[in-house]
Amino acid sequence: MDKKKLTERDICTKFINPALVQAGWDILSQVHEEFPVTNGRIIVRGRMHTRARPRRADYVLSYQKNMPIAIIEAKDNKHSLGDGMQQALAYSDALDAPFVFSSNGDGFLFHDRTGLFGQTETTLELNEFPSPETLWQLYCQYKGIGPAARKAVEQAYYDDGSGRTPRYYQSVAINRTVEAVAKGQNRILLVMATGTGKTFTAFQIIWRLWKSKQKKRILFLADRNILVDQTKNNDFRPFSDVMTKVTNRKVDPSYEIYLSLYQAVTGSEEDQNIYKQFSPDFFDLIVIDECHRGSASADSAWRQILDYFSSATHIGMTATPKETKEVSNIDYFGEPVYTYSLKQGIEDGFLAPYKVVRIDLDRDLQGWRPSKGQTDKHGELIEDRIYNQKDFDRQLVLESRTQLVAEKVTEFMTRTDPYQKTIVFCEDIDHAERMRQALVNLNPERVKENRKYVMRITGDEQEGKAELDNFINPEERYPVIATTSKLMTTGVDAQTCKLIVLDQRIQSMTEFKQIIGRGTRINDDYNKHWFTILDFKKATELFADPDFDGEPVKVYEPKGGAPVNPDDVYDDEPQDGEIPECSDDEGSYDIPPGSDWHSDDGDASDDTSTKRIKYVVDGVDVSVIAERVQYLGPDGKLITESLKDFTRKQVKQQYATLDDFLRRWNEADRKQAIIDELAEQGVIWDDLTRDVSKKLGEEPDPFDVICHIVYDQPPLSRKERAEQVRKQNYFSKYEGASKEVLSALLDKYTDAGIEPIEKVAVLNTAPFSQMGSLMELVSAFGGKPGYTEAVKDLEDELYRQTS
């Protein structure tokens, strides 16, 4: 057998797998080949999307399911033994697996990250691969897991038989937390971006600790009813008979798993603090969901619960740990045992990227001052001063401003999708109601179809709150637009929300991240792969804050009468944004314990007994000004230079000269592979193509886009390239069906570009399907190799004049 002729898959089957079996590894339960690490980052292209190539590890070895301890990267025998090591080490970082191997079928290069083997890298023969028991013993020694802790650490995950498995980062979070608890750590913090499955992660942690009897009675604390109900009815359902929700201020000590609102067990009066009906040592584990909202504050009444059950293990979970002078998650819980950020979630393809449309209004930037003695609509004398963005809809209402915002929202939805789930964040309940009315009046036909097309969903009103479940249910069409203030900032699992409108002044990074998190979930079934943020109050300037870790795909500011949809306009010269001055006050919207408000919404601050005077003014002209486009680069940072300059720099890093690019283009079996590769490196094809199209009057080939923008070559349209081929009498060497097929392929190229003609499946579509079956058409070229060669020859002819 000549190993050099074997494929990588052959090496795995004939050499690596037998070596693992010989070492005692169970191929079915302990060895996972082609392990999916990421989903592949979503790349937004205009109104379409594609995914970058997912990352897959050749082998992940687990002592028990979902507990990875070793990585193997395989290569064919033309590579050296260690050629896959750096790739394997990258997977090791992600999966938290300390034993790393690379193989080409001759043996293994072993990289030990624990330091327990003495030498960091060692060459092993095929028959020297370590057994599962050997690596597990070393893993436990490395992690400091003693015999007493191993029962909990080795406890299996819950498996419902559906095939659902944790994503890699969820497994790391679960395993690290269980290990920390098993080793006796009593204060633990987990930081996971919104939409990454914190509740499922919490369930698996609790399940393993409970099943192993490491923890026997557990309290899950949240501060919003919807969070508790979603948890009880979905991820925590397997606990069934041993689980209860604390309601009506009644305590039943016969259960093992308790779910509760903070507000349900605390109060301003001593008799309302029903948590004291439990003994201080009743619970041995408390999991605090969204722990940034109050529980870490030393003077928070909610903290009383944690102090009362101080002997229990406390696990805090949040997407946005809070660190201010008054509140510190880290001071209370310690450094996070694991962090999975929004930026990483977008990069891995588990979270949706987003575009930003920034709309600046003249009155917001320039301010408005009443004339002397001017009164508002209700006869109130307006205080004489300049009112600006921070005042509007809080101190003073400009009715025409509300109308303009509603018009822009309606315009965007009409241009894109009138039925995309949309959340409009307003300053308060009054603002949310006025916005609802404006949107209703601008969408009479939609409202006529269904009165629930626009709903105000705030904490003070039952009719709207009752529609929250319908809004977040992907299968329910209505409501489409929800106007709100604080109720929907967090804990709302709106999987199909495609538009977030910010008409609320936000100075808290914590709240901003929570609001952005309303749109980051992906739902393939409903074509939700990215979302748009429509920003009227400069809230997205918080993207410039170093505390923010997930920048947008695009930022666009329409000017004057320009369309609100960013894909209908192109500006090659983006300008740098301002960096906001962020308040130290993180605005946590804590709910006073003991209050009668348990409805989930910070809008309760609009209590009429303390309501401030809010002036309402009509007849003031408000208009849109300013325009800016910014893009998200492949490094996750906003591009601040022009798009053309950025593209030149990115392409020339790989192809320094035109000759380098032409050589690679002509050698490529598939041109689309180069196009996709450049897209992954940050080339924004739609906008570049749109710019060159304006000059040509017709759509160019991606080849011409690069040659023109990067290397200053005159561009040709696809139509011009096709006409040149026909003028060369290229088809004269073919006859019959083959000539007819190639002529139609050239027409297809003119209409749709290079991508479809490189796929043999195009022969199943019109007009080819009228010429014959796929097999018949391929046979006209003497078989598939002949057809592939003819297509490659056609491509060579298309690009010959530039070579």
Q: DSSP of 678-745, one letter per residue?
A: HHHTT--HHHHHHHHHHHHSSPBPHHHHHHHHHH-PPP-BHHHHHHHHHHTTGGGG--HHHHHHHHHH
Identify the top-confidence range among 245-249, 276-280, 446-450, 640-644. 446-450
72, pLDDT greater than 80: yes
Specify the residue for token string 């898959």: 9
* 245-249 mean pLDDT: 80
Looking at residue 554, its pLDDT comes to: 46
| Residue of 627 and 281 predicted with greater confidence | 281
Band the pLDDT of 330: cuts 50, 70, 90: confident
Task: Give me the phi and psi of 619, to 5 degrees please.
Answer: 80, 10
Looking at residue 680, its pLDDT comes to: 78
Can you name the residues that pair with 102 across neighbouring β-strands? 73, 109
Looking at residue 632, its pLDDT comes to: 55
DSSP string of 305-326, one letter each residue: HHHHTTTSEEEEEESS--BSSS
Band the pLDDT of 801: cuts 50, 70, 90: low
Identify the top-confidence range among 69-73, 289-293, 567-571. 69-73
Burial of 97 (0-12, 13-18, 19+ CB in 10 A): buried
Q: What is the pLDDT of residues 659-668, one digit of tens each?
A: 999 999 988 8
| Residue of 640 and 84 predicted with greater confidence | 84
738, pLDDT greater than 70: yes
The two tokens of residue 94 are: 């992600």
Helix (H) or strand (E) segment spanning residue 424: strand 421-425
| Residue of 373 and 330 predicted with greater confidence | 373
Distance CA 777, CA 131 (A): 54
- Assess whether the previous peptide bond of 280 is cis (omega < 30° from 0): no
- Of 448-462, 472-486, 512-526, which gets the smallest average pLDDT? 512-526
For the chain, what percent of residues have pLDDT higher than 90? 53
| Residue of 647 and 435 predicted with greater confidence | 435
- Assess whether the previous peptide bond of 767 is cis (omega < 30° from 0): yes
Distance CA 93, CA 363 (A): 50
Distance CA 473, CA 479 (A): 10
Looking at residue 609, its pLDDT comes to: 41
601, pLDDT greater than 60: no
Distance CA 297, CA 737 (A): 77
SS3 annotation, 28-83: CCCEEEEEECCCCCEEEECCEEEECCCCEEEEEEEEECCEEEEEEEECCCCCCCCC
Amino acid at 603: D
96, pLDDT greater than 80: yes
Distance CA 8, CA 107 (A): 14
Distance CA 389, CA 368 (A): 10
| Residue of 647 and 320 predicted with greater confidence | 647
Band the pLDDT of 295: cuts 50, 70, 90: low
Mean pLDDT for the chain overall = 84
Looking at residue 181, its pLDDT comes to: 96
579, pLDDT greater than 50: no
Looking at residue 546, its pLDDT comes to: 65
Looking at residue 223, its pLDDT comes to: 73
* 668-694 mean pLDDT: 84
Amino acid at 329: N
Band the pLDDT of 576: cuts 50, 70, 90: very low
* 78-86 mean pLDDT: 94
* 314-328 mean pLDDT: 70
Looking at residue 568, its pLDDT comes to: 44
| Residue of 241 and 567 predicted with greater confidence | 241
Distance CA 679, CA 52 (A): 9
Band the pLDDT of 517: cuts 50, 70, 90: confident
Measure CA of the first residue to CA of the last residue in the chain; give whole Å.
43
Looking at residue 19, its pLDDT comes to: 97
Contact 234, 472 (CB under 8 A): no
Looking at residue 410, its pLDDT comes to: 96
202, pLDDT greater than 80: yes
From its phi and psi, is residue 712 left (phi > 0), alpha (psi between -120 and 50) or beta?
Answer: left
SS3 annotation, 768-794: HHHHCCHHHHHHCCCCHHHHHHHHHHH
Looking at residue 779, its pLDDT comes to: 94
Distance CA 48, CA 553 (A): 13
In this structure, the strands spanning 257-261 and 243-245 are parallel
* 305-327 mean pLDDT: 79
Closest CA to 367 of 345, 388, 396: 388
Distance CA 279, CA 288 (A): 19
| Residue of 281 and 584 predicted with greater confidence | 281
Closest CA to 457 of 476, 481, 421, 475: 481
Cα dihedral across residues 74, 75, 76, 78: positive or negative: negative
Can you name the residues that pair with 220 across neighbouring β-strands? 259, 287
From its phi and psi, is residue 213 left (phi > 0), alpha (psi between -120 and 50) or beta?
Answer: left
Specify the residue for token string 């101080």: 310
66, pLDDT greater than 90: yes
Distance CA 121, CA 251 (A): 58
For the chain, what percent of residues have pLDDT higher than 70? 84
Distance CA 265, CA 263 (A): 6
Q: How many helices (H) and strands (E) does the chain have?
A: 30, 28
272, pLDDT greater than 60: yes
The two tokens of residue 260 are: 């509760």
683, pLDDT greater than 70: yes
497, pLDDT greater than 80: yes
Distance CA 626, CA 737 (A): 57
| Residue of 391 and 576 predicted with greater confidence | 391
- Of 155-159, 321-325, 713-717, which gets the smallest average pLDDT? 321-325
- Of 349-353, 475-479, 611-615, 744-748, which gets the smallest average pLDDT? 611-615
- DSSP secondary-structure letter at 12? I
- Of 101-105, 246-250, 786-790, which gets the smallest average pLDDT? 246-250
| Residue of 165 and 44 predicted with greater confidence | 165
Burial of 137 (0-12, 13-18, 19+ CB in 10 A): middle
Name every residue whose Cβ is closer than 8 Å to that of residue 595 and which is 6 or more positions away in sequence. Answer: 263, 268, 604
Based on its alpha-carbon atoms, the radius of gyration of the chain, rounded to whole angstroms, reads 30
Distance CA 172, CA 192 (A): 11
Task: Give the CA distances from residue 599 to residues 229, 494, 504, in Å, rounded to whole numbers and listed in that order.
Answer: 13, 19, 21
Closest CA to 356 of 513, 557, 73, 615: 557
- Of 339-353, 504-518, 663-677, which gets the smallest average pLDDT? 504-518
Contact 218, 256 (CB under 8 A): yes
Q: Is 210 helix (H, G, I), strand (E, B) or coil?
A: helix
Identify the top-confidence range among 309-318, 492-501, 572-581. 309-318
Q: What is the pLDDT of residues 602-626, one digit of tens each?
A: 443 344 444 568 999 998 999 888 6
Looking at residue 342, its pLDDT comes to: 86
Cα dihedral across residues 332, 335, 340, 343: positive or negative: positive
- Of 593-607, 698-712, 782-796, which gets the smallest average pLDDT? 593-607
Cα dihedral across residues 226, 231, 234, 240: positive or negative: negative
Closest CA to 292 of 320, 268, 313, 260: 320
Closest CA to 257 of 202, 303, 311: 202
Looking at residue 790, its pLDDT comes to: 94
* 306-333 mean pLDDT: 77
The CB density around residue 93, as the number of other CB atoms within 10 Å, is: 11
